[in-house]
Amino acid sequence: MDVTLSQSTVGGRTQAPPSKSYTHRAILAAGYAEGATVSDPLISADTRATMRAVEAFGGSVDHDESANRLDIEGFGGDPETPADVIDCANSGTTIRLTTAAASLANGLTVLTGDESLRSRPQGPLLRAIDQLGGRAESTRSNGQAPLVVGGPITGGSAAIPGDVSSQFITALLMAGAVTDAGIDLTLQTELKSAPYVDITLEVLDEFGVSARKSKNGFTVSGYQEYDAGDGYTVPGDFSSISYLLAAGVLAARDGLTITGAYPSAQGDQAIVEIIREMGGDVSWDEDAGELTAAESSLSGVEVSVADTPDLLPTIAVLGAAADGTTTITDCEHVRYKETDRVSAMAETLRKMGASVTEERETLVIDGSASTLSGATLDGRADHRIIMSLAIAGLIADGETTITGAEHVDVSFPDFFERLSQLGATVSK
C-alpha cells in the first residue's frame, strides 16, 4: 500500500496507542502463568506473533474486542513442544522472548520469521542458552533465524553482551523465573536500551515475579509463579507518542493533545524533554496523562539514543525541520532493527532535500541547510521509518508518497486514520 501526504495543519485530541513493548511482555507473562486478563493491549502484527507463540506452547488467547482485552490461558511455566514451526513474522521481540521460552521445553522448537527478521542477530542469546545447558542453534550457522532450540534448561549462570539487544536479557529473565535454579546474567559489555529491561522488571513485578539488577548484570531466582491477580492493564506507548508529538510541534498551530500518556519505565518518554530542549512547546499533565504540543520554532540539539533507539527516526525528522545542527549519537545498535534505520533515515531525508551526514555511530542533520520537498520514498518495510517520514510529509512542499505503508500495522495500525482525523491530508 502506498500512502500520499500533503503539507497539512493538524490539531485536536487523540488517544495514545497502547505500548507494544508492554503488550508483548504481558502476553508472554500471562503465558508463563496459569493465565491472566490483559486489558487495553496493542493488537498489531507484532503482538499477534507473540499470541501465536503462546498458543504454540500450549496456551490460548481470546481477544474480546468489546471489552478491549485479551483473556489468556497460560502454559503454567511448562511450555509444550510446538507441533509446528513458530512464525514470528517481523517481530524481533517475539522471536527473542520465545526463544528463551522454547529452551524450557523437552523437545525441539523451530522459530523463524520474514526476510528482515531472518537477518537480525540472535547469536548472543543462543550462546547464553548453550551456557545454561540447552540446545540453541542457527540452521545456517550465522547466528540468525531459522533457529532450533531445545531444553529443558534448569537455570544457572550465563554471560551475555549488553550492546546488541536488551531483549536477550528480557527473554532470559522471563524464562529464568520458572527454572529450578533461576538465572544469573553477567553483562560482558555496557547495556544499551537499558529502559527496556526496566520495563521487563516492572511487568514481572506486576505478575508477582522478582528479578533485579546485580553487581555485574541481572538475576532472577527460580521456582517462581507468574500471577497477575485481577489482571494487567497496558499503558500508552511513548514510541508511538513521539510521532504525534512531532506532528504537534511541526504542524499544530492551535495545539494537539494526546491522552493516555502516563509516566512509566519507558525510556522513550525522553522524547518530551528532547523536544522541549529543541524549543518545542510541550506541556505534560502527568496526573491526567495528557500531553499537549503546539507548533514551534525548533533548534538543533545533540542527543544520544543509546537507551532510546526507536526515537532516532523521529529526532531525525525534527532535526531536518530545526534551525542549526542536530547530532544523534550512539547509533550503531539502531542499524540492527527491521532495517538499518540510520542509513534509511539518512537516504530518505536527503531525497526530501535535507542535509544529512551519516557515520557509523552518528547521524548529523543540518536543518539550516535543509528544505524539505515531497518525494516518493521507500518505507523499507519498517513501521518507524514509515511513520517518521509521514510526519516529514506534513511540512514538506508538495506531495510525499511512502511505499509499503501497510507496515505501520506492526505497532500503530490506525496511524494514517489518526493523522487524517487530526486534519492531515492523507490519501491511499
Show binding-site residues for phosphoenolpyruvate. Answer: 20, 92, 120, 167, 341, 384
CA atoms within a 13 Å half-sphere pointing along the CA-CB vector of 201: 17
DSSP per position, 183-226: EEEEESSPPSSHHHHHHHHHHHHHTT--EEE-SSEEEE-SS---
Query: Which of 40, 184, 307, 310 is the catalytic position?
Result: 310
Give yes or no for a contact between 97 and 69, defined as CB atoms under 8 angstroms apart: no
Query: Quick one: CA dihedral 199, 203, 208, 211, positive or negative?
Result: negative
Q: Determine the residue type at 121.
A: P
Residues 359, 335 contacting (CB under 8 angstroms): no
Whole-angstrom distance, CA of residue 407 vs CA of residue 377: 14
User: β-pairing, 281-285 with 290-294?
Assistant: antiparallel
Tell me whether residue 184 is one of the annotated catalytic residues: no
Place of cell 524549543: 279
Residue 85, strand partner residues: none
Annotated binding site: 20-21, 25, 92, 120, 165-167, 193, 310, 337, 341, 384
Distances (CA, A) of 211 to 160, 198, 203, 220, 249: 17, 10, 10, 4, 39
Using CA atoms, how far apart are residues 47 and 38, in angstroms rounded to an integer? 12
Q: Distance (Å, rounded) from C-alpha 153 to C-alpha 105? A: 8
d(CA 74, CA 216): 32
Task: Return binding residues for 3-phosphoshikimate.
Answer: 20-21, 25, 165-167, 193, 310, 337
Q: Which residues are catalytic?
A: 310
